[in-house]
Structure 1
Amino acid sequence: MGRIRRAPRGESLERNKKGRRSGEVPHPFSVVFCFSLFFPQLRVPRRRAVMLLALGALMLGLAGAMEIQVPEEPVVALYGQDTTLHCSFTPEANFSLKDLSLIWQLTDTKRLVHSFSGGRDQLTDQGGGYTNRTALFYDQLSQGNVSLLLRRVEIADEGSFTCFVRVRDYNSAAVTLQVAAPYSKPSLNLEPNKDLKPGDRAVVTCQSSYGYPEASVLWQDSHGANITENVTTSQVANEEGLFDVYSVLHVLVEPSSTYSCLVRNPVLQQETHASVTITGQHLAFPAVALWVTVGLSICIVVLLVILAYICQKKIRQSCEEEENAGTEEQDMEGEEQKTALQPLKSTEDKADNEQEIV
């Protein structure tokens, strides 16, 4: 809820265009009042000046005893959710709700947000945008809790609300409401997403929606370096007042490159991100180069098959020639042995014939 700020005694935080606090009268010893008494040309009747003096003294006396506590820091409310604008005072012992008059209104436009007096709500003059959206903590009014419950917070609710409290004394204080809505997880898109080659130009788009207030967008590369200088970002509010963020990054394609888009809500300190990686599967060769590569691969395979066949054939022929050569050598050796034996046999036959003749 933040720190509690106490409105100084007799001080109203709301001022009109002239700088005077709303609901106050001129101080009885102020320069304006003195001039109104002693300089008729200011066109302030003396009787009215006396009345202002008396009324001012009365208001200062009444406001002197009441202190109102409100948050010092802005109240952060989520869009579409309920929130509480805290405001409280310390009631006296004999305090009665019938003595309480409470008004919540917009500080700038004075538009009525909620009113309570005579022990019940007075909503006849309530602004149309707050119908059925406001309530008090009725069971805690007697303890001095005059906080306002605001349902289904809208973007238009953002701003300053003034809490006016009067019992016997009177005082007021302002509460600032800050509306916020978290951004959706970014969606990334790569264009073109096919037929990319290293060095080609590509566009990465990042889109996030339904956030408030305007986001800060940061782009990072694979090394975490800030590359937001190459980015064009636009933020457009929809009918509900929520922002749609559209950011475009221009890059030169590199293999295995990662690009991250971070969307940050400055009020909620919420950060959501998404990444896209360009890997080898995203990079394609041109059609001609692809067919050339396939053709060369087929030719190489065919040549290898032919070479293997030729080598195998030559090896087989060599083996057959060696076998044939061995067979011929064996045949020649057998013939030589037969030739060597034939003369010896002829000599023996001749000797036998000679013996028979004798």
Structure 2
Amino acid sequence: MASLGQIIFWSIISSIIVLAGAIALIIGFGISGTHSITVTTLTSAGNIGEDGILSCTFEPDIKLSDIVIQWLKEGVTGLVHEFKEGKDDLSDQNEMFRGRTAVFADQVRVGNASLRLKNVRLTDAGTYKCYVLTANGKGNAGLEYKTGAFSIPEMDVDYNASSESFRCEAPRWFPQPTVVWTSQADLRANFSQVSNTSFELNSENVTMKVVSILYNVTINNTYSCMIENDLAKATGDIKVTGGFLHSFCMGLLG
């Protein structure tokens, strides 16, 4: 039978073990207790030569000094961009992105970690990751960024043709798109036999000018020229009524 002294001794040891366990648990939470926050990305195609946006949002944190944003690209050493302590830190930025990146600093506090990429290049295509660290936690999300060229077509009457014809011309596309003409009067009509499309390489030897001619058009009918590749789709409409030309664009979807 244990003596009173032994009972007290083992009680003290048990208390020490429990206390040590609690301390270890607290330390463990201190080291790894930063919980995950939701980070969401949204991708859209980059148009060569223009500015692009790599969209990224996260759970807001009003304390700007605690927010760290890092953008990385797979296969590229260093960072694409870093924002911390309320300002950009580009000391570890890869040279290919030098002078071409920016975050929306005035919107970081409300959860916007999106990256503006200036003068998009064909080589900017690839897999990116948006990392965010705040006082509330950390998280990341990836996106696949595709680059190419796309532009809105201009519609006009082709005065060089022997018969009444329409001309659809767009200055910059890549990769090579398809062009499809349709008629408002007959949406099922196939105009491939009465249209001619050509592609002319531009001076930078990457993008191409698209020109498509539709022959034997009917007055008082609206025709649509749709240009599309894997990245974007653009449509222009044209109609001639009583000698007057009406042309308008339906817009560009990237």
TM-score by length of 2: 0.55
**Which residue identity is paired with 2:143?**
V
**Which residue identity is paired with 2:152?**
Y
Q: How much has 1:172 moved relative to structure 2?
A: 1.8
SS in 2 for 1:112: coil
SS in 1 for 2:99: coil
For structure 2, the residue ranges without an aligned partner over 5 or more in a row are: 1-27, 242-254
Q: How much has 1:173 moved relative to structure 2?
A: 0.8
Q: C-alpha distance in 1, partners of 2:161/2:154?
A: 22
1:210 paired with 2:179, answer no
TM-score by length of 1: 0.42
> Any conservation in 1 of the 2:219–2:239 contact (CA below 8 Å)?
no
Q: How much has 1:134 moved relative to structure 2?
A: 1.8
Within-5 A mapping of 1:158-237: 158-167=125-134, 170-177=138-145, 181-187=150-156, 189=158, 193=162, 206-211=168-173, 214-220=176-182, 224=186, 225-229=189-193, 231=195, 233-235=197-199
Greater helix share, 1 or 2? 1
Greater strand share, 1 or 2? 2
Q: How much has 1:114 moved relative to structure 2?
A: 0.6
Within-5 A mapping of 1:1-358: 62=32, 65-71=35-41, 73-75=42-44, 80-81=50-51, 83=53, 85-91=55-61, 97=65, 100-109=67-76, 112-117=79-84, 120-167=87-134, 170-177=138-145, 181-187=150-156, 189=158, 193=162, 206-211=168-173, 214-220=176-182, 224=186, 225-229=189-193, 231=195, 233-235=197-199, 238=202, 239=204, 241-247=206-212, 262-265=225-228, 269-274=233-238
Quick one: structure 1 residues 158 and 205, their matched pair in 2 at CA, closer, same or farther if it must change by over 3 Å? same
Q: C-alpha distance in 2, partners of 1:157/1:213?
A: 15
Q: C-alpha distance in 2, partners of 1:229/1:119?
A: 61
> In angstroms, what is the RMSD of aligned CA positions?
4.7
> Any conservation in 2 of the 1:185–1:273 contact (CA below 8 Å)?
no
Q: C-alpha distance in 2, partners of 1:105/1:74?
A: 15
SS in 1 for 2:80: strand
Q: How much has 1:235 moved relative to structure 2?
A: 3.7
Q: Deviations over 1:129-148 (max 9, x none)?
A: 43333222334444554332
Q: C-alpha distance in 1, partners of 2:100/2:193?
A: 45
For structure 1, the residue ranges without an aligned partner over 5 or more in a row are: 1-57, 197-201, 278-358
* Larger RCO of the pair (alpha carbons < 8 Å, separation 6+): 2
Q: C-alpha distance in 2, partners of 1:255/1:117?
A: 62
Q: How much has 1:204 moved relative to structure 2?
A: 8.0
Q: How much has 1:117 moved relative to structure 2?
A: 4.0
> Any conservation in 2 of the 1:220–1:228 contact (CA below 8 Å)?
no
Q: Deviations over 1:108-162 (max 9, x none)?
A: 5456321234554322342344333322233444455433233444555444421
Higher Cα radius of gyration: 1
Identity of aligned residues (%): 21
> Any conservation in 1 of the 2:71–2:129 contact (CA below 8 Å)?
yes
Alignment size in residue pairs: 206
SS in 2 for 1:65: coil
